Structures are given as structure tokens and as C-alpha cells.
Chain A
Amino acid sequence: MRNASRYALLAAGVALALAYPWIVPNLYLLYAGVLTLMYAATATSWNILGGFTGYVSLGHSAFFGLGAYGTGLLMTRAGWSWIPSLIGSALVVALFAALVGVAAVRVRGASFVIVSIALVSMTNLLVQGWRSLTGGSTGLRVPSPFPDLNRGQSHFAFFYLFLGLLALVMLTWWFISRSRYGAGLRAIREDEDKAESLGVPTAAFKVTAYALSALFVALAGGLYALWFRSLDPIFVFSILIGSYMVLMSLLGGVRHLFGPLLGALIVAPAGEYFLVALGETQVHLAAAGLLLVLVVLFMPEGIIPAAARLVSRPQQASIREEAAG
């Protein structure tokens, strides 16, 4: 019975998502929908590392930017068509992430966060400085993959492309969560030293989680490049994009499949709301900061567990959590 209602809800959610472009009254809301899906996809990808292992990377925008630039450069410089560019770029970024990961995951906690921040600054400097290849600060213009579509049709197409990516990332997360590999990653989160002594190959597990999460973020970045078609290093390699992924995951709940998606559905419209309501002055930055502080202080597990505690008896919470994850 419970399962039946669960599947019904899932089906309703999927149907709603699929119908969204047809029921919104104007292109702006479609555009906002594409952007929200992109955030949801990046946040869920981030959560492959952050949720399972507990390693907080503030620098996933490095992979987002590299994926975007890789796709754009393969198309403009190598003349590839968009699908091989997108996939090729994401694979290269994943390989790069694995190499960085070997150095990065040697350190835990705070040092790892610092490394991730440094990674964004580095990639930004590199792409901005390498003017002859990337166009540097003048940016990179990416050819449209669908030159025959007008703006609205292009939003349509990318809505479903991002939706597909989101589905792919969520399925991956779900598979991992049910696998021995996922159990190993969770063991790292709970107690890394103990996991190691129990025979979990922690280093290899962490590096693969890191690379896998980078792969999907790079795919999102590549799609973004194809959709937005105008890349500028200071905007794609931005610490703010990386921190959005963290904020969304955290707000929804990092231990839950639907956490980052829920977070994205709240944060993206809230950001717009703050801008519109508090526009004119910089108070909206302070409001966003305050929101983050409050979430960290009072809902560190995210909305999903907090809501679950309200709805159900507390002793069931942990079992429920596993089931949902």
C-alpha cells in the first residue's frame, strides 16, 4: 500500500515535470525552469560526493566551467558536433578530477574544503590567462546545436535535456545508494579510519566518487554552454555557483535522493524573490547569507529529515531515512 502511493507520487512528479514546458504561461518561466533543472542536476551530482562521503567541495564550479569550456572548445576549435563534444569534454574533466582527487582526498575536512576553493581560483586563472585558446576575458561564443530552433523552442529542447541529465544523475545516486560501493562510501562518512581498518579501499572509493560527481557536473556545464552559448571565465568559474550546489543539497537534505532537487526548487525561486523584493540595495545578499546561517544552525540535516520528524514518530526516522535514500 505504502509502496503503491509512493509510485503514484513518483509518477505524478514525473508527469508534472514532463508537462511543465506546456503549462507555463510564458518563456521566462520556461527559462527559469531550465535554470532550476540545471541547478538541481549539479546539486544532485555534487551530492554523489558530498552526501555519501561527507566531503564538502565548495569548488565544483571548476568542473562545471571546465565541462562548459571543453564542450565549447571541442566544437569551435576541433569542429566536433555537439554530442561528442559534450561527452568527450565530460570524460576529460572526469579524468582530470580523478587526478586532482588523488591529491585532494589525501586530506580531510577543512583542508579538503580549502583545496576545493583553490581549484576554482586556479581553473579560472588558467582559462582566463590562456587567451589564445579560450578567448580569455572576452569569453567564448558557442555555436548553437539546434540552429533551426528559435529561442522558445531551444528552451524547450534544453528543458528536456537537463531533465534527462537530472534523471540520469538521480538514477546513478540511487544505484550507488543500494550498492556495496555506496555502503563503503557511507562508512567513510561515518568513520573513515574505522572503514579503512575494516578493509574499505577508502582512497579508491573517494577518488571514484569525486570523479563521478565531477563527470555529471561537467555534463551539466556542457549543456549549459550549448544552451547559454556565451561563456565568460569569471562567471562560470565562480565560487558562488559551487556554493549553490552545497546550499541546495544541504537545504533539502544530503542523505536523501530528493534532497538536492528539493533544495534547488526552493533556492532558485527564493533567490529571484530576494532580488525582486529587496532589489535596489545589497540587502538581498545579506538575506541569502542569513538564510544559509539559519539552515546550518537549525536544520543541518536539511528539510526532509526535519519534516519527517514533524510528521512521524522519531524512532522510525532512521529506518525511513535509509529507505528514502
Chain B
Amino acid sequence: MVSFRNGVAALALTSLAISACGGAAQEAAAPSATAAGPVKIGISLPLTGDFSEPGKGIQEGYQVWADMVNAKGGLLGRKVELIFRDDASDPNKVSSDYESLISQDKVNLVFGPFSSRLVIPAAQVAESYDMLFVEPAGAAKEVFEQGFERLFYAAPAIASDHYNYLAEYLLALPADKRPRTAAYASLDDPFAMGTAYGLRDKLAAGGIKTVVDEVYPPETTDFAPIAAKIAAAKPDLVVGGTQFEDSVGLVRALQELGSQPRMAAFSTGPTLAEFPAAVKGAAEHIVSPVGWAVSSGFPGNDAFVKRYKEMFKTDANEDAANGFTVGQIVEAAVNAVKCVEQTKECQTKLADHIRQGSFETIVGPLSFDDKGRPEQAHMIQQYIDGKVEIVLPEGSKAQTAKLVYPKKEW
């Protein structure tokens, strides 16, 4: 009896609190066009949970962009206001965040969340509301195979192309210097595997033999036995499709077990500021793909680096740069088509503009294919004398040093 009354009361309360006016499904299809007021941009990011660290970087990039746009007078003369939601690294939350940002907060634009694993559910929501969806982090190739028509990845290349310059470099080496064998170890994650396997496929096609090919689940806590397997195969080249923890675990264990490859490449981990301290001296000569560099010299990059430092008191990183790039592309599109409304016409115009245009960004000029894939390539960075240097592509503005190969022993 009592249980009953409580249950019903709760139900009644919930629906009373929310029942303002009728007609849910019909209304959302035609969002109201508020001409005045700020331009509201809705963003869901993993500020807590497994992906919280890169999530925070991207958030800061968005904030720097908004700050700089507002300093210039805003978008089409309207102030930009960012609305962040924490998705706690949970896809149900990502969807509900975008659903509420679009249908409840009536945001003018949405920006993407972090991680390939969260981008797909988020893009599904945006797509079904006909919203433009430029995203800073969904690099795995599967993201672009869902048939999304308004999704664009705001970085130079998708995961499997991250190592392209390195593959070209290695395959161009004279036969006696070229590595003969390679070992691959990758985290079971679409992005990390994408990078490692992109390189593997190119090198294998070029005749470099794969001697170890390991995939480990995210639950893995002990990397020494994987390293033992690699050490036993004595490869010339070690490639890790890694995030942070595992890149440190693998580097340390490879060192301990006496593996001395002539080149070591790891994705993500070495691009984070914590890496050199975590592996001590072993960072020297490790190479990684990187989508952005402090030194790139691309227009606007220096201003971004400076403003970031003023706002957050630390040095800018790649995640922040990716967030900033999203802002730059959308800003350019908005200024070109002169609209920033949630309506289907406006969002379609924006998407069409981005698909056809080319954009000057802090990660270089970007253009996209019909699936939203960027058509450029990542640079390759290397630790040289303890400093991060851009070593490939050869002869580019961004290059700060020559690639060291073979690497020094660790």
C-alpha cells in the first residue's frame, strides 16, 4: 500500500516537474530561431572517468578558441558561449548530453567529444538532428564508415595514416640500413590499433617482416611478459599502438629485458608531458606521430600557444590544439556562409562549405573527403637530447631536427 503510493508519487513528481507544454517529437524537428543573444555551443566531454585527461585538454583548447573569438568581437558579432557537459566516459551520457544540448538548451552549434569510442554515439545524435559535427578526437577509421554526412575530423589524418611519413622514410632507406624485422604490440582500442596497424600494413607490404604482433586488452596491468616476447624476437623496429600507461610499461620492460631495437615508435604516450619523467632516460630517440607542434609556424599557432599559456599557466598540448582547430574550422565556415542557427538549412550550408573548402588552421591547412576524413598527414616527433623535435616530414616548415636512426641504446 505505502510502497505503492510512494512509487506513484515519485512518478507524478517527475512528470509534473517536466511537463511544461505538450508535443515532444513534433517540436524538436523545428527548433526556434533566436536571432539575438550569444551563440551557444554545446559540448560533451569526458571530464571524469577513463578518458578524462585528454578530455580536459580538449576543453581547454575550446576555451582558448572562445576567448580569442570573443576578443575579436564574437561570431557574426555575437558573443560565443560554451556549454560543457561531463559524459563521465559513458556513451549513454554522451548521447543524453547532446540530446539535451540540442533539444533543451537549443544550442546553435555542437562540437565533438573525445575518443573514437564516444564519437560514434555522439555523432549519431547530432546527425539525426541534422547538426554539423566537427570533432577533435574520433580518428579511428570506423568513425568514417557509419555513413555520417555532417561529421568532420579536425586533425591532419585518421589513425591508420598517422605513421605515413615514418613508413615513407623507412622504406626509402637503402637496403642495408633498412630494418628487416618489426614487432608490434597494441592496446585493444580502435585508435591505438589503427595507428600501429596502419604502419604494419605499409611496412609489411614493403618487405619488413612482422615478427611479433600482440594485442592486449585495456585490463592488462603487467607488460613485462609482452616485452619478453618482443625481446626474444630481437626485432630491428618496435612499434607500440599505445596510450599512456602501457607505453610507459612497455618502454620500461623492454629496457629491463635487454631489447635494443634500432627504432622505437609509440603512439600517444610520448606526446604527453609526463612521459620523459615516467621512463627516465629511455625517452631518447623514441618517435611518435603528432598532429600539432609548438614550432609549426602555421598561421595563428603562436597566438594560440601564447594565449593558452596565459590562461592555463602550462604549455599547450596536442589535445588542446585539436580542440582549438575545431573552433577555427567552424568559425571559418560560419563567417563564410553568414549563419549560425540550429536550423537544417544553416547546418547544411555549414557542412557543405566545410566539405568543399580548405582551412588554414594551427595544425596546417586542412581539407576533407566526402566521408569527413582529413586528407593531410601527421608529423613525426622524436626526443632528441631530451627535447621534443619535429623530424618528419623532411623539409617542412615545422621540422626542427633530423631524424636520428638507429636510436641510441636505452
**Is A152 a contact partner of B120 (Cβ separation < 8 A)?**
no
Cross-chain contact A26 with B6 (CB below 8 angstroms): no
Interface stretch of the complex, out of B80-88, B269-277, B352-360, B361-369: B80-88
Query: Chain B residues with Cβ under 8 A from A240's Cβ?
Result: 90
Point out the residues of chain A lying under 8 angstroms from B28, CB to CB: 26-27, 152
Chain B residues closer than 8 Å to A280, beta-carbon distance = 47, 84, 86
Check B96 for interface membership: any CB of A closer than 8 A. yes
Most buried by B among A240, A261, A275, A324: A275
Taken residue by residue from 17 to 33, chain A's Cβ proximity to chain B (1 for < 8 Å, 0 otherwise) reads as 10111111111111110
0 or 1 for each of B272-286: is its CB under 8 Å from A? (1 = yes): 000000000000000
Question: What chain B residues lie within 8 Å of A88 (beta carbons)?
Answer: none
Residues from chain A with Cβ under 8 Å of B124 in the complex: 229-230
Residue B193 lies at the interface, judged by CB distance under 8 Å to chain A:
yes
Interface size counted on chain B using CB atoms at 8 A? 60
Contact B48 A285 (CB under 8 A): yes
A321 to B24, CA, bound (A): 38
Contact A151–B24 (Cβ < 8 Å) = no
Q: Which of A24, A136, A141, A320 contacts B188 (CB 8 A)?
A: A136
- Residues of chain B in range 67-104 having any CB-CB distance to chain A below 8 Å: 84-86, 88, 90-93, 95-96, 99-100, 102-104
B4, B21, B100, B189: which has the most chain A beta carbons within 10 Å? B4
In the assembled complex, how far is the CB of residue B293 from the closest CB belonging to chain A, in whole angstroms?
A: 29
CB contacts (< 8 Å) of B23 on chain A: these are 22, 25
Pick from A28, A152, A257, A265: contact of B100, CB below 8 A.
A28
Q: Give the contact stretch, choosing among B9-17, B174-182, B322-330.
A: B9-17
Question: Which of the residues A12, A16, A25, A124 comes within 8 Å of B24, measured between beta carbons?
Answer: A25
Is B14 in contact with A31, judged by CB distance below 8 angstroms?
Answer: no
B237 → A minimal CB distance (Å): 24
Among A94-145, those with CB < 8 Å from B are 121, 124-125, 128-129, 136-139, 141
Known: A234-B218, A308-B2. Is A16-B91 also a contact (CB below 8 A)? no
Cβ A28 vs Cβ B103 within 8 A: yes
The smallest C-beta distance from A44 to any residue of chain B, in angstroms, reads 11
| B1, B47, B96: the one within 8 Å of A6 (CB) | B1
A31 partner, pick from B19, B20, B96, beta carbons under 8 A: B96
Closest to B191 in A: A137
**A residues near B99, Cβ cutoff 8 Å:** 27-28, 31
- Would A35 and B2 be within 8 Å (CB), given that A156-B25, A265-B14 are in contact? no
Q: Is the CB of B142 within 8 A of A262?
A: no
B111 in the interface, Cβ–Cβ < 8 Å?
no
Is A137 a contact of B188 with CB atoms below 8 Å? yes
* B314 contacts A by Cβ under 8 Å: no
A153 within 8 A of B: yes
Cα(A282)–Cα(B49), bound, Å: 8
Residue of A nearest to B189 (CB): A137
**Chain B residues, Cβ within 8 Å of A281:** 47-48
Q: Are A235 and B8 in contact (CB under 8 A)?
A: no
* Residues in A249-283 with C-beta less than 8 Å from chain B: 253, 256-259, 261-262, 265-266, 269, 272, 275-276, 279-282
Main secondary structure, interface of A, reads helix
B117 touches A129 (CB 8 A): no
Decide yes or no: A23 and B96 within 8 Å by CB, A137-B190, A258-B6, A280-B86 being known contacts.
Answer: no
Interface status of A198 (Cβ within 8 A of chain B): no
Q: Do A10 and B103 touch (CB < 8 A)? A: no
- Of B4, B14, B22, the residue contacting A9 (CB under 8 A) is B4
Chain A residues within an 8 Å CB radius of B103: 26-28
B106 smallest CB distance to A (angstroms): 9
Chain B residues in 8 Å Cβ range of A282: 47-48, 52
Q: A29-B18, A285-B48 are in contact. Are A155 and B25 (CB under 8 A)?
A: yes
**CB-CB < 8 A to A276: which residues of B?**
85
- A269 / chain B contacts, CB cutoff of 8 Å: 14
A275 contacts across to B, CB distance below 8 A: 85-86, 88, 93
Contacts of A152 in B (CB 8 A): 24-26, 28-29
Contact B18 A6 (CB under 8 A): no
Q: How far is the CA of A285 from the CA of B93 in the complex (A)?
A: 14
| C-alpha gap A323/B6 in the complex (Å) | 15
List the A residue with the shortest CB-CB distance to B8. Answer: A13
Which residues from chain A contact B395 at a C-beta distance below 8 Å? none
Interface status of B27 (Cβ within 8 A of chain A): yes
Q: Shortest distance in angstroms between B258's beta carbon and chain A's nearest beta carbon? A: 30
A2 in the interface (beta carbon within 8 A):
yes
Chain A 147-175 residues near chain B, CB threshold 8 A: 150-153, 155-156
Q: Is the CB of A23 within 8 A of B19?
A: yes
Q: Which of A35, A139, A259, A303 has the most B CB atoms < 10 Å from its CB? A: A139
Taking a contact as CB atoms under 8 Å apart, the answer to whether B120 and A9 are in contact is no
Closest B residue to A304 using CB positions: B3
Q: How far is the CB of B102 from chain A (nearest CB, A)?
A: 8
Cβ of B221 within 8 Å of any chain A Cβ, yes or no, is no
Selected from A23, A230, A258, the residue in CB contact (under 8 A) with B7 is A258
Residue on B nearest A152 in the bound complex, by CB = B25
How far apart are B410's CB and chain A's nearest CB, in angstroms? 29
A235-B96 contact given A9-B4, A137-B190, A230-B121, CB 8 Å threshold: no
Least CB distance from B57 to A in Å reads: 14
Partner of B91 from the list A125, A232, A256, A311 (CB cut-off 8 Å) is A232
Q: How far is the CA of A259 from the CA of B10 in the complex (A)?
A: 12
Partner among B3, B121, B146 whose Cβ is within 8 Å of the Cβ of A308: B3
B219 within 8 A of A: yes
5 A-B pairs within 8 Å (CB atoms) are namely A9-B4, A28-B104, A128-B217, A259-B3, A265-B7
6 closest pairs, A vs B, by CB?
Answer: A152-B25, A258-B7, A28-B100, A151-B128, A13-B8, A324-B3
**B residues apposed to A, CB below 8 Å:** 1-8, 10-12, 14-15, 18-29, 47-48, 52, 84-86, 88, 90-93, 95-96, 99-100, 102-104, 117, 120-121, 124-125, 128-129, 140, 142, 146, 188-190, 193, 217-219
